[in-house]
Structure formats: C-alpha cells, structure tokens
C-alpha cells in the first residue's frame, strides 16, 4: 500500500513539472484535429505531427506507424487523443467498481441470454403448434375437397349415364316408331297410278296422244306421301360432269343445277354419256299439297291441279286410274322410246366424229 501511495505521489510530482492538464488537453486536441484532417497518403505528415505533439508534452516519440494508422482507422479522434493524452490509470477502488460492474453486466447478459433462449423456445413451440394445426387443417381441407370431387365426379358420371341411357331409350323409341311407321306405311299405303293423255292425237288416224302425263300418288289414310310426276314434254340437258350415270340416277338434282330454268324436275329418269357430255332427262318427286277440299296441287314441269275425288287433271286431259303394269306400258315405256329417239341421233353424230378422228390419225 505504501508503494502504491509513493507511485501516485511521484506521478503527481512529474505531472506538476510538465504542462497542466488543460494545456495537455489543448495540445492533444489541436494535434489530433490536424492529424485527422490529413489525406490518406500523408502518413509521414501524420507521424511527424504526432511526435511533435508528444515532444511538446514531454512524452517519448511514437515508433510504430502501422499501429498509429490502425488506431486512427478504428478509433478516429478518440484513439489519437488517448495516444497523446492517455487517461490516468484507474485507482484500486475504480478497478474494483469496474470488476463489480463487469460481473453485473455479465450476469445481466446471462439473464438476457437465458430469457432470449426461453423466448426462442416458446416461439419455436408456438410455431410448431401453429404449423401442426395448419398441417392438420390442410389435410382436413384436402380430404374434404377430395371427397367433394369424388362425389361431384360420381354425380357427373351418374348424370352422363342417365343422359346416355335416356338418349339410348329415345333413339330406340325413335327407331321403333320409325320402323312401326314404315311398316304401317308399307301395309297401309294406297298407291294410285294415273295415266293422263291429251285429247289431241299425233295425227287424225293415230290413237297415240300428242302428249301425256303420268302420276304415281301415294296416300296413307288422309295423308299424302311422296309422289311422282312424269311428262311426255321430254326435257333433257347436256352437261360436262365427272359423276357417273349411276350416281346421277340415284341422287336428287341439286337446286338450280344444270340451268333448269323454272323446271321443278328434281330426279333423273334417264342418263347417257356421249363423248365428254352427259345427257339427262328428269321427272319430279314431291308431296301433293292440299289446296282445298276438292283440289290437290302436284308440282312438276308445271303446276297441275288434281281433283281429290275424280283425280282428273283439269279440262285439257282426263286421267285414268290404271294398274302398275298399264302405267309401265302407257307412261314409262313411251317415255323411254321418246328419250331414245332423241339420243340416237346424238350417238350417231358422236360415232361419226370418232371415226373422223381415227381417219385423221391414220393420215
């Protein structure tokens, strides 16, 4: 204890011989201000200013420039002041107080650490519980959604099955009704064949009419079905087409095809290919329209009224009800003969052209 008191006394004596505390503070502050104002590359200048200040304060020079630069970078003005004017050494009481304060600080830090760890564990537990609840809720929601999708899919499949079953039953019912209708029509259709010759003959001595019509009228109960109309006013057209006569005879004539003018022929009766052209003759198929209680309207080469009771076609010709065989001999065969009388010269002309071409090739 006596040694410590002696050291303190000697320090006071030494300090009392040099600059006062206020002067030391001023010298240190001025030197540090100048040092901190230097530029980065002026290391020598900083070192010189520091040692000049130390010399003025009666202190030993500073030998380590690297240590100086490090202290200035890390501590700035405060580090510079501590070099020039170091704080007085702590007393035993201050050392003890610092130790007690450090122990208190460490205790507080330990308590804070324990508290933080406790809070972290509590937060982790709360997070774990929340995540577990979210996982359970997510699984419950996914199970519910999967069940809803399964029920919806079953419902959709059942609806589709019922719809398909209804469509199948409806189709079967439709086919059955159509079959019953066809059978009923087949068994109950009344077909009337009409031969309607004109009063004028081809000549005074001839018994062949100048022109004639033929009707095939189909009827079930009071309902008229598709019927046919033939005319001796032979109509034919020549067209250039790649379709075969078999196709043309089995398919309806497209509307406005072949430039038929106002003709209502919609079926081909005869067909003949001659060279690059196809010659066609037609007849009409339509359902008779009911004009009134007494008259029917047949659409053909021209509009023809038929009396519903007598089936006469008007004042210009009388219609005779004939058998199917008589209709063939009085209508279809004569139409075929008229057609061949038209086609035969055309065939002959084509044959002559072909023979002429063959001769040209030989020459």
Kindly state whether residues 231 and 121 are assigned to the same domain.
no
- Predicted confidence at residue 13, as pLDDT, reads 46
Q: Work out the number of other CB atoms within 10 angstroms of the CB of residue 194.
A: 23
- The answer on 336 and 217 residing in a single domain is yes
Do 278 and 272 form a contact (C-beta atoms < 8 A)? yes
Please check whether residues 222 and 327 belong to one and the same domain. Answer: yes
- CA 250, CA 76: separation in Å to the nearest integer? 112
Last residue of a domain, one of 49, 65, 89: 89
Write down the pTM of the prediction. Answer: 0.51
Q: Calculate the alpha carbon distances from 156 to 25, 145, 150, 159, 296 in Å.
A: 94, 16, 10, 5, 54
Task: Report how many domains make up the chain.
Answer: 3
**Domain co-membership, 205 together with 284:** yes
Q: What is the pLDDT of residue 2?
A: 42
> Does residue 7 lie within any of the structural domains?
no
**Does residue 13 lie in a domain region?**
no
**Residue 260, pLDDT score:** 46
Residues 110 and 208 in one domain: no
Inside any domain, residue 99: no
Distance CA(343)–CA(346), nearest Å, equals: 5
Q: DSSP class of residue 234?
A: -
Domain-ending residue, one of 89, 113, 129: 89
267 falls within a domain: yes
The answer to whether residue 8 is domain-embedded is no
* Six token digits for residue 205: 């001595």
pLDDT of residue 360: 80
Q: How far is CA 275 from CA 99, 137, 306, 336, in A?
A: 130, 86, 41, 21
311 and 327 belong to one structural domain: yes
* Residue 213 and residue 271 in one domain: yes
- What is the three-state SS of 47-86? HHHHHHHHHHHCCCCCCCHHHHHHHHHHHHHHHHHHHHCC
* Residues spanned by the domain of 156: 104-188
Helix orientation angle between 65-84 and 43-57, rounded to the nearest 10 degrees: 40
What does the pLDDT profile of the chain (363 residues) look like in tens digits? 444 444 444 444 444 556 777 888 888 788 888 878 888 788 788 878 878 878 887 777 777 666 777 777 777 878 788 777 777 777 888 788 888 888 999 999 999 999 999 999 999 999 999 999 999 999 999 999 999 999 999 999 999 999 999 999 999 999 999 999 888 888 888 898 989 888 888 777 777 888 888 889 898 888 888 889 888 876 677 778 888 889 988 888 776 555 544 456 788 889 999 888 888 888 888 888 777 777 777 765 556 677 777 666 655 457 888 999 999 999 999 999 989 988 999 999 989 888 888 888 776
Is residue 347 one of the residues assigned to a domain? yes
In the numeric block, the tokens 């081809």 are attached to 202
Q: Helix axis angle, 65-84 relative to 21-36, nearest 10°?
A: 140
pLDDT of residue 303: 61
Tell whether 201 and 324 lie within a shared domain: yes
Nearest to 201 by CA among 232, 234, 235: 232
Residues 243 and 257 in one domain: yes
Q: Out of 89, 124, 149, pick the residue that ends a domain.
A: 89
CA–CA separation, 229 vs 332, rounded Å? 11
In a domain, 174, yes or no: yes
Do residues 46 and 125 both lie within one domain?
Answer: no
């Amino acid at each position: 204890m006596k040694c410590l008191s002696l050291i303190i006394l000697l320090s006071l004596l030494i300090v009392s011989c040099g600059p006062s505390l206020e002067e030391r503070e001023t010298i240190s502050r001025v030197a540090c201000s100048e040092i901190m104002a230097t530029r980065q590359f002026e290391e020598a200048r900083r070192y010189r200013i520091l040692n000049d200040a130390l010399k003025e304060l009666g202190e030993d020079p500073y030998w380590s420039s690297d240590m100086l630069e490090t202290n200035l970078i890390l501590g700035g003005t405060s580090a510079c002041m501590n070099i020039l004017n170091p704080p007085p050494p702590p007393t035993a009481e201050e050392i003890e107080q610092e130790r007690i304060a450090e122990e208190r600080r460490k205790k507080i830090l330990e308590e804070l650490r324990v508290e933080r760890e406790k809070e972290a564990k509590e937060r982790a537990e709360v997070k774990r519980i929340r995540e577990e609840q979210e996982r359970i809720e997510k699984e419950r929601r996914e199970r519910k959604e999967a069940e809803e999708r399964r029920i919806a899919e079953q419902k959709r499949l059942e609806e589709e099955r019922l719809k398909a079953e209804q469509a199948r039953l409806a189709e079967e019912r439709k086919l059955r009704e159509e079959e019953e209708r066809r059978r009923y029509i087949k068994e109950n259709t009344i077909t009337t064949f009409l031969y309607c010759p004109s009063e004028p003959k081809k000549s005074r001595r001839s018994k062949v009419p100048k022109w004639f019509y033929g009707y095939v009228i189909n009827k079930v109960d009071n309902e008229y079905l598709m019927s046919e109309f033939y005319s001796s006013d032979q109509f034919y057209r020549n067209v250039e087409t790649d379709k075969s006569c078999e196709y043309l005879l089995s398919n309806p004539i497209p509307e406005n095809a072949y430039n038929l003018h106002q003709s209502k022929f919609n079926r081909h009766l005869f067909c003949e290919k001659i060279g690059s052209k196809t010659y066609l003759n037609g007849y009409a198929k339509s359902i008779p329209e009911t004009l009134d209680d007494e008259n029917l309207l047949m659409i053909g080469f021209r509009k023809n009224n038929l009396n519903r009771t007598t089936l006469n076609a008007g004042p210009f010709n009388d219609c005779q009800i004939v058998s199917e065989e008589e209709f063939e001999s009085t209508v279809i065969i004569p139409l075929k003969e008229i057609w061949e009388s038209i086609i035969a010269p055309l065939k002959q002309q084509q044959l002559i052209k072909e023979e002429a071409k063959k001769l040209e090739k030989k020459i």
